[in-house]
Chain A
């Protein structure tokens, strides 16, 4: 009998298949766990579990290939390490049960690796994973991590870490359902970049048993257990219609009556360029530069930065590339840019431009590298600062950019104060780019990563739409472009509303571009404006969605 669960749909599409659950927790052996007396048999049991784990890791490596195979085969060597096995035998001989012996023996090596410097610190996570696998096996618990499967499945989890989703095989996973996570969490963004349907903040997810047949609608957030075949048919048909429309869309973004809305890609480094080009991006609307700075002891040098920026500029001759300067702090701390003190609330602390104002030499070096990268390329470089709060911030950034030789310096509108006073900020900003993820977080005072606050993490909240409207109007009056580079731009219905609010370009994860292009091509600018007015008049996000959809009848054939 069908049972329906509800969460937040964060990555559109329909997925149907049996449930497999991700397990992360590993039972801990009790600190005084002892075996029953037969030390020899217990030691054999421990060594057998180590060997089985090694074989499992080797098999996974062979399936994965490439770099993953190397990591996994090194992990297999750890699992069958003879020195480790000797230590485990000794501990079992002293009375410890197999799980505790393995756990304690590996802790010794873990401490040694953790204290030995940067090369080895990264191996500690590999070692922990090996330990968890052996201990789980010895205690009869499920092996942690993404489950193995030879056939497609729906992955259900409490939450997914970016590291979990990075090793997912999109050919085996048909959808995600998580109990935690918000629509703008990093996991949701990743799901969209993989093109997998996903529902997060699904309160009932824990109750769904392994093997249950699940229909997941990543657009509406509906999750149905044991659905009737007609519902599966209807959901997959609608998803296929959308996929078909997306596949048929091409050319620059424009409405049916020819109003241009350039469609740009959000990228996290040159590795995202192929997907952006494949999906027809007209440029880059958000180049996140953090990847150059994370996980290292000191800042990247000038030449390294120039190369990373130029690689992207060269991919879009004649196109626009908007680079965001380093957005450090909050959830992305950097070793060489320490926060002044522990921040009880880092999202409201020294992050983005605030951090750069404390370390101006880092900002100057980045701006200088950007100015040099543009020389000799045909792309139009625009550089913007994150977390600009007032006109004083905007002035400071504009002066720093001008000094470095960057011609077009703009600001991100993510802080409600900046949206409200956009008319003053426009004086020194060449353009605006509205970051709707953080703008929503700050407008509704709801942490992006907190699972229970899905209703407030919704860019359809009319309060958020009001601020977008204020910023876009101020930009138009000052003759400045105003883009949106948050995940809101990836929602085809909302993309039309944003266009109606006066937003001049839309930037999103590359996989969302075709469907947004198809949606724009089915509506006229006047309809977008009517939809925007209707959404602004609504009392809440659901009403705003419904009112906008009613004003945009051309989207009905896309099931929107």
Chain B
């Protein structure tokens, strides 16, 4: 299991376009991908409804978990972190 903590820099948080991109990227992974807000309960990062429901705003910390190890998992974490920080 690979994990990353990210402070969300996207101005609109994980809403609107960033949320859709985040879910689209996570959906490409074979295994489970989850995201939690701070110490909250993790939800599936492949579910747009669950991700939007977290109501992640600019400045919130999120924890992303990706099933598996190695360069593929790291690449996915990089991509997800990048989306959470893009504007």
Contacts and interface: CB of A to CB of B under 8 A. Distances in A.
Interface of A: 70, 73-74, 77-78, 81-84, 109, 112-113, 116-117, 119-120, 123, 127
B44 A112 contact: no
| The 3 residue pairs across chains A and B that have the minimum distance between CB atoms | A83-B47, A77-B48, A116-B55
B47 A73 contact: no
Interface string B3-18: 0000000001101110
12 contacts: A73-B20, A74-B19, A74-B48, A77-B20, A81-B47, A81-B49, A81-B50, A82-B46, A83-B43, A83-B50, A116-B52, A120-B15
Interface residues of B, number: 21
Contacts, number: 55
B48 to A, nearest CB: 4
Contacts of A78: 48-49
Contacts of B23: 77
A78 B16 CA distance: 12
A112 B49 CA distance: 9
A109 B24 CA distance: 19
Given A70-B16, A112-B53, 16 more contacts: A74-B17, A74-B20, A77-B20, A77-B24, A78-B48, A81-B49, A82-B46, A83-B46, A83-B50, A109-B49, A109-B53, A113-B52, A113-B53, A119-B13, A123-B52, A127-B49
Interface in B34-87: 43-44, 46-50, 52-53, 55, 57
A503 B27 CA distance: 64
B47 A120 contact: no
Nearest to B50: A83
Contacts of A84: 47, 49
A120 B43 CA distance: 17
A423 B1 CA distance: 82
A106 to B, nearest CB: 8
Nearest to B19: A74
**SS class, residues of chain B in contact with chain A:** helix
**SS class, residues of chain A in contact with chain B:** helix
A120 B55 CA distance: 8
Contacts of A77: 20, 23-24, 48
A156 B76 CA distance: 49
A112 B54 CA distance: 9
A128 to B, nearest CB: 13
B87 to A, nearest CB: 15
> Which of B17, B43, B48, B53 has its CB near the most chain A CB atoms (within 10 A)?
B48
Nearest to A116: B55
B13 A83 contact: no
Nearest to B54: A116
B66 to A, nearest CB: 16
Contacts of A117: 55
Contacts of B20: 70, 73-74, 77
Given A109-B49, A116-B53, A123-B52, A82 B15 contact: no
Given A74-B20, A109-B49, A109-B53, A119 B44 contact: no
Contacts of A83: 43-44, 46-47, 49-50
Nearest to A108: B49
A119 B47 contact: no
B17 A81 contact: no
A73 B24 CA distance: 10
Contacts of A119: 12-13, 15-16, 55, 57
